[in-house]
Amino acid sequence: MDTNERYDVVVVGGGAAGLSAALVLGRSRRRTLVVDAGEPRNAPAAHMQGYLSQDGMSPADFLAAGRREIAAYGVGLTAGEVTEVVPDGDDAFAVRLADGRTAGARRLVVTTGLVDELPDIAGLRARWGRDVLHCPYCHGWEVRDRDFGVIAHPVTGAHQALIVSQWSADVTLFLHTTAALPEDQRARVAAAGIEVVTGEVAGLVIEDDRLTGVRMADGRTVARSVLFAGTRMVPRDGLLTALGAATRPTPLGPLVTVDETGRTSVPGVWAAGNAIGLAEQVVNAASGGYRAGVAVNTDLLLADLDRAVASAESVPIG
Ligand SMILES: Cc1cc2nc3c(=O)[nH]c(=O)nc-3n(C[C@H](O)[C@H](O)[C@H](O)COP(=O)(O)OP(=O)(O)OC[C@H]3O[C@@H](n4cnc5c(N)ncnc54)[C@H](O)[C@@H]3O)c2cc1C
């Protein structure tokens, strides 16, 4: 990345969404730079499941392949964190990095992902992506028929326990800090044969580098080898909201509003992936990035043609 270089597009974030946007932009002959802070959400997991044709690939190999593909079309990629984006008043943005570098961009695609805030339970973070899991679509097949524990979620209650019962008949729901489940969930939990354990969870029991149990605050231990724990998913959308992007309320907190192409309410700014959609899996994030890339290329093309038309009209005739 050259300081003060001006790009057609700067893509902030080089995960599935960002690399996919960059691929279509590079193939559209757009001068494109990806700035990536290098903390993809699924980094703790050894395998990436459910991406058609790449099921089971390691997340690191997936991103390495994506980087090779964008490089083949001349797209630049630099390690760094974008800390600020400032409209420069000339159909463009100044993009500032934490290390002091800057770049100009006519359009922005923000694909900064989200942060998973884990339940505050001793030892849980160290097992994240291993035997403490959040997503049965990502990991359920690999742990099918084992003894599952599920920590009730402050917002969605027993929902995750109900879903994971598709992968095992042995599911225990720990209410932890959730006082009581809503009536409709109680009936479904009973119908699914899910055992409910009341009381706070104090920690995990780890033996030989494997989860073997859940330790309760009252001293009980419940044997479990797999634990599902929903997180508080916090979109990394600070760059977007600082630009004034409109948000909408959702039960899980405000989310930046985008149209079907990923266009935000800020002219010239698109977004994709977990930054604007908490449920996006890798394949969805890549798809959203692709749609944004196509839309940005069209937007640039039409802007240039409109400018050419306007300047031709302003030339005096005769
Ligand atoms: C443990 C775990 C396992 C998972 N397993 C699967 C699975 O098997 N299959 C599946 O489909 N999904 C899985 N997921 C979900 C998957 O991680 C997401 O769907 C996917 O990462 C979303 O892609 P993204 O491009 O939106 O964000 P990310 O992949 O998180 O990429 C965002 C990138 O932007 C960078 N970034 C953030 N802020 C800035 C900034 N200011 N400047 C520059 N760069 C920035 C980050 O460092 C990161 O590299 C899993 C999630 C977790 C937590």
Position 220 scores a pLDDT of 96
Position 91 scores a pLDDT of 83
Position 313 scores a pLDDT of 79
- Statement: 5-116+232-313 belongs to CATH 3.40.50.720: no
Question: CA 132, CA 128: separation in Å to the nearest integer?
Answer: 5
- The structural domains of the chain, with segments of one domain joined by +, span 5-116+232-313, 119-229
Ligand 1, atom 46: nearest CA belongs to which residue?
39
45 pocket-lining for ligand 1 (C-beta < 6 Å): yes
229 pocket-lining for ligand 1 (C-beta < 6 Å): no
Q: How far apart are the first and last CA of the chain?
A: 47
- Statement: 119-229 belongs to CATH 3.40.225.10: no
Atom of ligand 1 nearest to the CA of 139: 8
The answer to whether 21 and 289 have CB atoms below 8 angstroms apart is yes
**Per-10-residue mean pLDDT, the chain, length 318:** 81 98 98 98 96 97 98 98 93 95 97 96 94 96 98 92 98 95 94 96 97 97 97 97 98 96 98 98 98 98 95 72
Position 3 scores a pLDDT of 55
List of residues 6+ apart from 218 with CB closer than 8 A: 199
H helices of the chain, in order, are: 16-27, 59-71, 136-139, 159-164, 183-191, 238-242, 282-313
Computed on alpha carbons and rounded to an integer, the radius of gyration of the chain in Å comes to 23
Position 89 scores a pLDDT of 81
Distance from Cα 15 to the centre of ligand 1, integer Å: 6
Position 32 scores a pLDDT of 98
Query: Which of 282, 283, 290, 291 is the pocket-test mutation for ligand 1 (most atoms within 8 Å of CB)?
Result: 282
SS3 (DSSP) at 191: helix
In 169-299 the beta strands, taken as DSSP E runs, fall at 171-174, 195-197, 201-207, 210-216, 221-223, 226-229, 232-235, 247-248, 255-256, 269-271
26 pocket-lining for ligand 1 (C-beta < 6 Å): no
